[in-house]
Each structure stands twice: as C-alpha cells, then as structure tokens.
Copies of this chain bind each other. A is one copy, B any other.
C-alpha cells in the first residue's frame, strides 16, 4: 500500500488525454471539454491548470476499504499498473452514493459490495486487460462525488470494458448510486 496520494482530474484545453465523450449515467453530467490532465500530488487551487479548467475533480488513493487479503492477493498476482504504452483508452467514472449507503454499517456495505454484488470478482475477471485506480473524495470536503474510478485499457479491450461497466451497473450495489458520469478518453 503506497501512502495516500491526492490526484486532480482537470478538464479543459490541455492534458495528455483527449476527451471523446462525457455521458451522464445518473443525475447531473459534467460540462464538455477537449482534454483531461491527471495531476498526481498536491497542487494549489490557484494553479493555472486548475484555474483554467472547465471542471476539476479531486480524489485520494487510499487503503482498500472492503477487500479481504485473499481477494487482494488474487488480484495483485495478475493486475498491471497504469501507463502501459498499449493502454491508449481510458475512462473516468465519478460516482456519488446516496445517504442510505453511507448509513449502512461496515459489514452491511461489505455484504452488498461483494457477497451480493460481486464487485471485486467482476473487476478481477477483467484483469489484467482493464487496469484501474480508485480515488476517494467523500472526506475531502466540497467535492461533488464520493469516488473517482480511473480505468486504462487497449483499444482491443474496449468491448470487454463495456461488459465490465454493464455488469457493475446492474448490481444491487449500484442501486445506491445517486450520481454517475462516464467520461471516455483516448491518447
């Protein structure tokens, strides 16, 4: 587990990723923009990249909140990191869950997350093709989402990614999602 790292996703006219589409899945969407920059590490809100952005979302990589050690070991054995040269497609999926979710205790959230919805198992089935990093925002204050999930994959795995997203969106866990935006990117 590396130490928590702040990551800012700034959408505007600069950035390594071209924004191909922004779709609202549940609730309000996000404004259109041409490019997206993923900025790792602390950055002042007065930085030009933030000030000039159409929108900027912040999240923190952190310890896993639900994954058991056998599940983590199973994923770590096969997963690959971000920034693979072949991974020229990406998706940023910001999500906010509703009050009912956050009112659940840890064992209830875990049961819905995995025993019922198989969130970990579904994600694992698409490893190593679909690389993924989760960013937490609920505790940062002032952020419109609870989580930002970032995915990277090669063009030939684009259909697999669509299946992954579809599988997750029909789970019981997703009934607690009150806002979801789907940003697709390429480079």
Contacts and interface: CB of A to CB of B under 8 A. Distances in A.
Main secondary structure on chain A at its contact with chain B? loop
Interface residues of A, number: 30
B4 A139 contact: yes
A108 interface: yes
A131 B93 CA distance: 39
A106 B4 CA distance: 16
Given A64-B106, A69-B104, A72-B105, 12 more contacts: A1-B99, A4-B139, A42-B141, A60-B139, A68-B105, A68-B106, A68-B107, A69-B107, A106-B110, A136-B139, A139-B139, A140-B140
Interface of A: 1, 4, 6, 42, 60, 62-69, 71-72, 99, 102-108, 110, 136, 138-142
